[in-house]
A and B are shown apart, each in its own frame.
Chain A
């Protein structure tokens, strides 16, 4: 049987080679087509009015690709030379049409907004005059532009006033809902009281993808392509879970009950105790570990009153009284737990 360490050097070299190959190819693969167009040249230098090219915008009530000027509009001033697609297209071999561009699911009426800003396009499109390529023109950003008027909608979380459907058309979370950095640490606390906020963008089963303690696949397997995400149970988690579970067991309890551990630790007899587990003089003595993380013990041994602990841990037994100092119970003295030792 091949042990883990054998062939490691070749494997590491192979992975590095694959990574290097993948990124080296970046320069060889074609870039998607773009249109060569400078707003700076047309608007700033030529002083052409916005409506000259974007005339249809005056009657536009929704965001769609058709509000962008068509080729015919360009040809009103420019001559088209046959076979010279490179005049306008970055990739003339595979020119792309504007219609293939995807549009985010935003409800937006230029008709209404142009009226509010009294025709001053730059109120929202402030950087467009200096843009030298379409890539430099940005859709107005929510926190910089929309928030000037829609702050109350934002605070009251009326997302659907503008977003047709954030589930189907996800956007990068804005500052208040930033999912960057420590969000994984915070998201549980935020969800406890603000489930409705999460529901604007996430369907009911979104939580289940990671938190369903009954699912048969861990998130890392279901979303193996999301290397950018901080998914729980990453990689061969099973091999490291004894270290992680003992370091910070509260993370496990978020989803798992002790009884779930039975599946492996009891049925398959996985795990087991270190040597000197029963030696009180040893640092590996089970009493110390049990005091620190009794949940781990219960994962395998909790069989109610028949649990093997009480064989020793009873008054007069080698383990002595199991109750720590100051221990008290509100259980009825007639309960099965108490009657194990106090018939």
Chain B
């Protein structure tokens, strides 16, 4: 299967390369190259540390309206090679695969949409899935929307398992103006058995512009005991120009996430509830802030909670600088932590940005002998020319063994789209939406 995906990916390249700008097609692409080096404990000498130096490469390539109007191709893949790695085995030296690779078609009226390849799929109440397969969607009329999908589910290391596949569909009433409501089915087969079968409903309403309600409900068809697998809903109020309020509720059944082919489904009947709210202020002035709180109720146990606030100031004549503080606390069933974070962004000139990010974590119960830890990240980025950016990071963080480690990173980003962009056309900046004030 991996060979098939690679072949499709190679086919995409000449298709994209052949796209003709003059005929209305549009080509885009980008690459990200990251050099990292970080300290890890030496497995041969626990008293000392050694460096690992991996290089990561991400490539995106695609085109809209390629060949025939409505056809689009999109490819994103990554590769990693450990240049220096005294820890990992030989088998871990190279890794890489296609993250997303699709060929899609959208009819001129937008009534039909189809997509094949490796794709992220949102098909109703279930969570997003990565699927090697096909997805079709149609709007036959009367604001009805119908969609269906089928394909294989890649494993944790992109491995292909012909016995693990999924299919499903969704029927929705979607009049755009008022929101939408849909019902969906999702099935998954594994080892010749039903691994998962869900019936779901999803909804989103915005009949009035100041109120937005969305949510979903998922029923496990294979479980008689705890059939209600998940329920989520969020109500958000746009109080005025600058204020937002929202409340949310969720109920989750852990077993629902296990395939029914797992023997662990027989060991539990628990579920938990989460109720919370958020408030945000995002005005045209310097101040923006966000605060949130959420309570978790676990079955048969005392509850947990999370709470936090993040005020920040946008400074400078074009609001291009940022300075903020974040204070948060999370309490789970067996431990809790309080985090204090200070962060800043400084853009002395248009192409240069400097950031600093410091966080201190205070634990209620010691984690591997320490009741606090800290993280410092400094970055400096410079846009060398339109579409090309270089960045250097230096950070002090913690490794999984709770030991302090120094981490460095060099990142090069290059946007090929500049090659294909019509002469004189504008170039996007990562900060254009804020720093330029935006069109809106």
Q: Residues of A with Cβ closer than 8 Å to B?
A: 1-5, 8, 11-12, 15-16, 18-19, 22-23, 25-26, 29-32, 64, 102-106, 135, 138-139, 141-143, 155-157, 164-165, 167-172, 174-176, 178, 180-182, 185-186, 188-196, 203-205, 207-208, 211-217, 221-222, 224-225, 227-228, 234-236, 238-240, 242-244, 246-250, 253-255, 257-260, 262-264, 270, 284, 288-295, 297-298, 301-302, 304-305, 307, 309-310, 313, 322-332, 335-337, 340
Q: Hey, which chain A residues are within 8 Å of B84, CB to CB? A: none
How far apart are the CA atoms of A298 and B261 in the complex, in Å?
Answer: 12
How far apart are the CA atoms of A4 and B375 in the complex, in Å?
Answer: 10
Given known contacts A19-B358, A22-B346, is B280 in contact with A182 (CB within 8 Å)? Answer: yes
Q: Hey, which chain A residues are within 8 Å of B262, CB to CB? A: 258, 298, 302, 304, 337
A330 x B290 contact (CB < 8 A): no
Given known contacts A193-B202, A309-B267, is B342 in contact with A205 (CB within 8 Å)? Answer: no
Tally the A-B contacts, defined by beta carbons under 8 Å.
Answer: 428
B396 x A11 contact (CB < 8 A): yes
Cβ distance B56 to chain A, nearest Cβ, rounded Å: 6
Q: Determine the main DSSP class of B at the interface with A.
A: strand
Tell me, yes or no, whether B51 is within 8 Å of chain A by CB: no
**Which of B278, B282, B428, B439 has most A Cβ within 10 Å?**
B439
A203 x B373 contact (CB < 8 A): no
How far apart are the CA atoms of A221 and B180 in the complex, in Å?
Answer: 36
Given known contacts A212-B99, A295-B257, is B128 in contact with A235 (CB within 8 Å)? Answer: no
B404 x A3 contact (CB < 8 A): yes
Counting from the closest, the 3 A-B pairs by CB-CB distance are: A181-B280, A247-B332, A181-B244
Per-residue contact bits, chain B 358-382, to A (CB 8 Å; 1 contact, 0 not) = 1111010001011011111111010
Chain B residues 202-250 with CB under 8 Å of chain A are 202-204, 206, 209, 212, 214-216, 222, 224-225, 230, 232-234, 236, 238, 244, 246, 248, 250
Per-residue contact bits, chain B 326-350, to A (CB 8 Å; 1 contact, 0 not) = 0000111111110000111110111
B306 x A248 contact (CB < 8 A): yes
Given known contacts A192-B124, A242-B335, A328-B224, is B176 in contact with A25 (CB within 8 Å)? Answer: no
Q: Hey, which chain A residues are within 8 Å of B60, CB to CB? A: 203, 205
Instruction: Please name the residue on chain A nearest to B276 by beta carbon.
Output: A185
B290 x A327 contact (CB < 8 A): no
B322 x A227 contact (CB < 8 A): yes
A172 x B433 contact (CB < 8 A): yes
How far apart are the CA atoms of A125 and B354 in the complex, in Å?
Answer: 35
Q: Hey, which chain A residues are within 8 Å of B216, CB to CB? A: 189, 192
The 19 sampled A-B contact pairs (Cβ below 8 Å) are A3-B369, A4-B370, A8-B374, A18-B378, A23-B321, A32-B350, A104-B432, A168-B28, A172-B433, A181-B244, A185-B278, A192-B202, A225-B391, A227-B345, A228-B343, A235-B377, A239-B398, A264-B400, A331-B222
Tell me, yes or no, whether B47 is within 8 Å of chain A by CB: yes
A309 x B263 contact (CB < 8 A): yes
Instruction: Please name the residue on chain A nearest to B352 by beta carbon.
Output: A29
Q: Hey, which chain A residues are within 8 Å of B191, CB to CB? A: 336
How far apart are the CA atoms of A181 and B246 in the complex, in Å?
Answer: 9
Tell me, yes or no, whether B162 is within 8 Å of chain A by CB: no
Interface size on B, residues (CB 8 A): 178
Tell me, yes or no, whether B108 is within 8 Å of chain A by CB: no
B375 x A235 contact (CB < 8 A): yes
Q: Which of B120, B266, B317, B399 sits near A327, CB closer than 8 Å?
A: B266
Tell me, yes or no, whether B136 is within 8 Å of chain A by CB: no
Q: Hey, which chain A residues are within 8 Å of B417, CB to CB? A: 168
Per-residue contact bits, chain B 51-66, to A (CB 8 Å; 1 contact, 0 not) = 0000010101010000
B436 x A102 contact (CB < 8 A): yes
Cβ distance A45 to chain B, nearest Cβ, rounded Å: 25
A214 x B156 contact (CB < 8 A): yes
Tell me, yes or no, whether B316 is within 8 Å of chain A by CB: yes
Given known contacts A155-B177, A239-B367, is B433 in contact with A170 (CB within 8 Å)? Answer: yes
Q: Hey, which chain A residues are within 8 Å of B194, CB to CB? A: 330-331
Per-residue contact bits, chain B 298-313, to A (CB 8 Å; 1 contact, 0 not) = 1111001010000010
